[in-house]
Structures are given as structure tokens and as C-alpha cells.
Amino acid sequence: MRAYKEITSARAHDLYNDYSPQEVKLHARKTIGSDLKEMREARGLTVRELAKLSGLQHSHIIRIEQGKYNVTLDTLSMIVNALGGQIYLDFCDDGEEWDDEP
């Protein structure tokens, strides 16, 4: 996901030094939410349709898309699965180069 890669690029340690933890969390929430909304819209689904497919309430999905909710990996997995996508997680140590390929 673009959101994850933006936060965890090779300059991630700079982001944590330049911004407060709250700012980092807010940025991650908003970026993940906008990515999910973009995926949903690209598939021609409404929030209610995605809610039905994922088993979540539509109001919950709206809050996630708006970046107002700290989405868990379990919930994120349910949404992405309903959208027919996959989640790739990769972690790197400080100083390691970020590999753009999952």
C-alpha cells in the first residue's frame, strides 16, 4: 500500500525525528484511509456495499476512510479482502534501504 510505504520509506527515521508521534499516527491513518477509499471507488463500490462484503458497519468504514479511526490489522484485512486486494507488510532497520517491491 502506498500509505505504508510513504511512512516507512528510507527516510522514516527522519519522519519520526521531525514530527511528534501524534502527527505520525494521524498521517498514517489519513493515508491508509484515502488509499482504502481509492480502492473502493476504483471497484465501483459504495460504502454500504463494502460494509456488506466485509461484515463491518458502514459508519465504521466511513471513519476509517476519513482517517478518524485507528484501524486494526484484523479490520484492515477484512476490508482489503472484501476489495480483492492483499496487504504487504515489510519492516526495515534504521539505515536499511526500502525495497519498493513486496
At 31-68, the pLDDT tens digits run 999 999 999 999 999 999 999 999 999 999 999 999 99
For residues 35 and 31, give the distance between their C-alpha atoms in angstroms, rounded to a whole number: 6
Q: What is the pTM for the complete model shown?
A: 0.72
| Phi, psi (deg, nearest 5) at residue 11 | -95, 20
Q: Which CATH code is given to the segment(s) 2-82? A: 1.10.260.40
> Are the C-beta atoms of 9 and 47 separated by less than 8 Å?
no
Average pLDDT on 74-86 reads 96
Q: For residue 90, is it left (φ>0), alpha (ψ between -120 and 50) or beta?
A: beta
Contacts (Cβ under 8 Å, ≥6 apart) of 20: none
